[in-house]
C-alpha cells in the first residue's frame, strides 16, 4: 500500500455550467470505477462551492444551481471529494479568477497498491475535459520570471525613448516609446479583458464585446502611427 499525491496547474479556461456538468459526470461515474468504490460513496462526499461578493454557496450538484449563468461577481468555484472509507481518496479542483495556473490546480491524493497509475489516470481524464473549454488566455499570463523581465524591460524602453529625444533621434524615440506602450497594453489586457480563468457571466460577455472594440481601436492607432512614420521618413527609408 502506498500513497501518491498530485498538485498540477490548470490550463487557462472558461468555466461554464456545461464544463462543470462534464466534470461532475466524470467524477461521479468514472472515478468510482478507477478507485473501487460505489457511485453512492462518491456522491455523498462530493460538493461544489460557488463564491461571489455576496458569499459562498455550496450545492450538491450543478444541476441544482438555480441560475442559467453565474453572478457577475463570481470569483471562485471549487469542486471537492473527500473519501476516507473504504479508500483514502481526496480530490479538488480550484478555479479562481484572481490567479493564474500556478494557483489554480487539480489536486489528487490516493492511497492504494496502484496509487500512482490511478491518480495519474484520473488527472489525465480531468485535464482532457478542462482543455476542451480552454480560453487561450495563457498568452497574457506568463511565468513570474518572464513577468519580472517585462516589468524591467518596459521601463528600459521608456528611459531609452527620453534619451533618444534628447539626442534628437525622434523616430527611434517614438519606436522605443511604442514598445513601452505595447508592454503596458499587454499587461492591461491580461488584467482586465483576458483573465486566466473566466466565468460564464453577463459581465464577462460584455467585457469580450468591449475587447473587440478596444482591439480595433488599438490596431487603427498603430497603423496610423506607422503611416505617419513612413510618410515623414519616406526619402530616408527608400532613397
> What would the pLDDT profile of 63-86 be if each residue is shown by its tens digit?
888 888 999 999 999 999 999 888
Cis peptide before 43 (omega within 30 of 0): no
Q: What is the pLDDT of residue 150?
A: 92
- Across the chain, mean pLDDT equals 89
Question: Do 115 and 150 reside in the same domain of the chain?
Answer: no
pLDDT of amino acid 49: 94
My answer on whether 10 and 70 are in the same domain is yes
Q: Which residue has the higher pLDDT, 200 or 217?
A: 200
Tell me: do 37 and 124 sit in the same domain. Answer: yes
Domain that holds residue 161: 138-238
Quickly state the pLDDT bin for 236 (edges 50, 70, 90): low
Considering the domain architecture, whether residues 190 and 163 belong to the same structural domain is answered as: yes
**Residue 2: its pLDDT value, please?**
86
Q: Which ranges constitute the DSSP H helices of the chain?
A: 17-25, 31-35, 39-45, 115-131, 144-166, 170-192, 202-232, 234-238
Domain boundary (134, 152, 185) is at 134
For residue 232, what pLDDT band results from cuts at 50, 70 and 90? low
pLDDT for 229 beyond 90: no
Q: Is the pLDDT of residue 44 over 70?
A: yes
d(CA 59, CA 72): 19
Query: Could you tell me if 30 and 127 lie in one domain?
Result: yes
Q: Do 112 and 151 fall within a single domain? A: no
Q: What is the pLDDT of residue 64?
A: 84
What domain count does the chain have?
2
Interatomic CA distance for residues 19 and 84, integer angstroms = 27
Same domain, 33 and 57: yes
- pLDDT for 123 beyond 90: yes
pLDDT at site 86: 83
Residues 130 and 146 reside in one and the same domain = no
Q: Decide if 125 contacts 131 (C-beta within 8 A).
A: no
Q: End of a domain among 107, 134, 161? A: 134
Q: Per-residue pLDDT for 87 more than 90?
A: no
pLDDT band at residue 220 under the 50/70/90 scheme: confident
Q: Do 162 and 94 fall into the same domain?
A: no
Same domain membership, residue 97 and residue 51: yes
Instruction: Judge if 142 and 128 occupy the same domain.
Output: no
C-alpha span between 204 and 209 (Å, rounded): 9
What's the whole-number mean pLDDT along residues 187-211? 92
User: Which of 75, 102, 134 finishes a domain?
Assistant: 134
Confidence of residue 233 (pLDDT cuts 50, 70, 90): low
Same domain, 95 and 196: no
Amino acid at each position: 500500500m502506498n500513497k501518491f499525491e498530485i498538485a498540477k496547474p490548470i490550463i487557462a479556461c472558461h468555466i461554464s455550467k456545461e464544463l462543470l456538468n462534464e466534470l461532475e459526470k466524470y467524477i461521479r461515474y468514472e472515478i468510482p470505477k478507477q478507485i473501487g468504490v460505489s457511485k453512492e460513496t462518491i456522491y455523498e462526499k462530493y460538493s461544489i462551492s460557488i463564491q461571489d461578493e455576496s458569499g459562498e454557496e455550496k450545492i450538491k450538484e450543478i444541476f441544482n444551481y438555480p441560475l442559467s449563468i453565474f453572478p457577475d461577481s463570481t470569483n471562485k468555484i471549487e469542486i471537492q471529494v473527500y473519501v476516507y472509507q473504504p479508500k483514502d481518496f481526496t480530490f479538488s479542483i480550484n478555479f479562481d479568477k484572481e490567479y493564474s495556473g500556478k494557483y489554480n490546480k487539480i489536486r489528487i491524493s490516493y492511497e492504494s497498491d496502484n496509487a500512482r497509475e490511478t491518480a495519474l489516470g484520473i488527472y489525465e481524464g480531468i485535464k482532457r475535459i478542462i482543455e476542451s473549454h480552454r480560453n487561450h488566455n495563457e498568452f497574457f499570463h506568463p511565468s513570474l520570471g518572464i513577468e519580472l523581465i517585462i516589468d524591467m524591460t518596459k521601463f528600459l524602453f521608456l528611459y531609452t525613448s527620453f534619451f533618444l529625444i534628447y539626442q534628437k533621434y525622434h523616430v527611434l524615440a517614438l519606436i522605443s516609446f511604442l514598445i513601452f506602450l505595447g508592454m503596458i497594453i499587454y499587461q492591461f489586457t491580461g488584467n482586465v479583458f483576458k483573465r486566466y480563468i473566466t466565468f460564464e457571466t453577463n459581465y464577462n460577455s460584455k467585457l469580450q464585446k468591449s475587447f473587440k472594440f478596444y482591439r480595433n481601436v488599438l490596431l487603427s492607432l498603430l497603423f496610423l502611427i506607422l503611416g505617419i512614420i513612413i510618410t515623414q521618413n519616406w526619402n530616408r527609408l527608400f532613397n
